[in-house]
Structure 1
């Protein structure tokens, strides 16, 4: 049996923005430190914006900078440093799916830069840990929190699962279509479906539920273009559909804080 290990680590500082590949990452109560702590919302109603509606967001780079804020960049645009909002920043009411919360607004300069890039009036917001959302208690414990990710702090995918899907589609697929935080190699295809609890290095994680997939997986992370054949969603529906949802990857809940590094062993505990 091959030894399983952590093959890749990703962070997405801005929800639906470009991925940041990491060699190591610190975990806090909300998952990978800095992951999906920033989000774009409609200026008028505070509703969250993603690549589902705006595929061009795949070309938007929003990377952590040394001061704790974000550096925004995009093709054909000058970059912009956005400071981390302070305690006195204006709070804005926002919605992520069914959750409503009030979070700091990142100011007019960021809003103007981003509105010009995406072509609609928007605001940039940031969530401090104290204002994070409760994870659905049908799958988590009271006190388990999530930042601006759709529902859970972490997403894990087995490399063999992607290889299986690529073989069925007939072309190699990019892992980043599925926006995982953790990629595991050395397991069988879809072995992660049966895991309940795992350990990576010294940190333990609960496997909460499978991740249901949407049209976002059909967007090429390099170009921002949707695939004309609606792949890989079309193929996933043929063998990964259950109760009207298509599943690929597993949502995790961290059970402790500490450091993860690529190459760490992965052990299934239950």
Structure 2
């Protein structure tokens, strides 16, 4: 196997809003530090995503020392969000089939998002006391995750995107696929077979390839929805009724800070 390196790290603090790249991050059991610890919910406390609200893509998240900043990519309207909730209101919120504990962040923040969405919604935070287990069929121990769709980390090989882009008329950026970890040096799609993975000093288990949804067809700069990449991926990456791209990971035996440039090693593969 060629030498593998971690070539990019991405964090998405608020589920389904724009993420950002960092040069290093702390690896925690439920995901990278700050990753998907916040989420928008509707009046029924059910999660909101780009799947049915593509315009969430236009809200870009960044970080300052003591807050998240959410900026509209086209109008530059902005709001600062405290890293710690300003309320003590606890809710039971729904993410897919899971129900877990969350805390309402701030009423002013709720007004900002409700006005933008045109319907009442609230921003909630996942406290450390909230434990949301991953699918037990794929857990190694009592693994859990944040407000991510199902698993705490997503890894994609840069060569996988390069191979896909060779098949597309218009090349797509990595942000269509919302990975946490990007690895360079592997053959296309090799990451989907990796089982035990070391990134620097951090250890991960690869548990299942990621089934992709319509979010990948949303341009993250304009919120326009197209047919790619799912149309092309379906011609050669479809297994059963799922289109695969990337590998879901769970926390391994230990975690630490990871940095762009870290060596990546694979000690075992699946099946």
Question: What's the TM-score bracket when you normalise by the shorter of the two chains?
Answer: over 0.9
Deviation at 1:88, TM superposition (A): 6.1
8 Å contact kept, 1:209–1:252:
yes
Distance 1:86 1:173, change over 3 A: closer
Distance 1:170 1:194 in 2: 28
Distance 2:241 2:144 in 1: 27
Alignment of 1:1-270 (within 5 A): 2-42=2-42, 44-67=43-66, 69-74=67-72, 75-76=74-75, 78-86=77-85, 89-227=88-226, 230-255=227-252, 256-270=254-268
8 Å contact kept, 1:34–1:64:
no
- Given the two structures, how large is their TM-score scaled by the length of structure 2? 0.94
RMSD of aligned alpha carbons: 1.5
Deviations 1:19-40 (A, max 9, x none): 1110111111111100000000
Deviation at 1:231, TM superposition (A): 0.6
Distance 1:172 1:160 in 2: 13
Deviation at 1:243, TM superposition (A): 1.8
Deviation at 1:79, TM superposition (A): 2.1
User: Secondary structure of 1:263's match?
Assistant: coil
Distance 1:192 1:72 in 2: 32
Moved over 3 A (4+): 84-88
Distance 1:126 1:117 in 2: 19
Structure 2 spans left out of the alignment, 5+ residues: none
Deviation at 1:77, TM superposition (A): 5.5
- Given the two structures, how large is their TM-score scaled by the length of structure 1? 0.94
Deviation at 1:142, TM superposition (A): 4.3
8 Å contact kept, 1:85–1:104:
no
Distance 1:169 1:86, change over 3 A: closer
Distance 2:93 2:161 in 1: 34
Structure 1 spans left out of the alignment, 5+ residues: none
Distance 1:163 1:84 in 2: 36
User: Secondary structure of 1:238's match?
Assistant: coil
Distance 2:87 2:173 in 1: 41
Deviation at 1:87, TM superposition (A): 9.0
**Structure 1 stretch 202-211 or stretch 71-80: which is displaced more?**
71-80
Deviation at 1:171, TM superposition (A): 2.5
Distance 1:189 1:14 in 2: 29
Distance 1:84 1:7 in 2: 28
8 Å contact kept, 2:86–2:105:
no
8 Å contact kept, 2:46–2:94:
yes
Distance 2:160 2:79 in 1: 38
8 Å contact kept, 1:134–1:142:
no
User: Secondary structure of 2:6's match?
Assistant: strand
Distance 1:152 1:141 in 2: 12
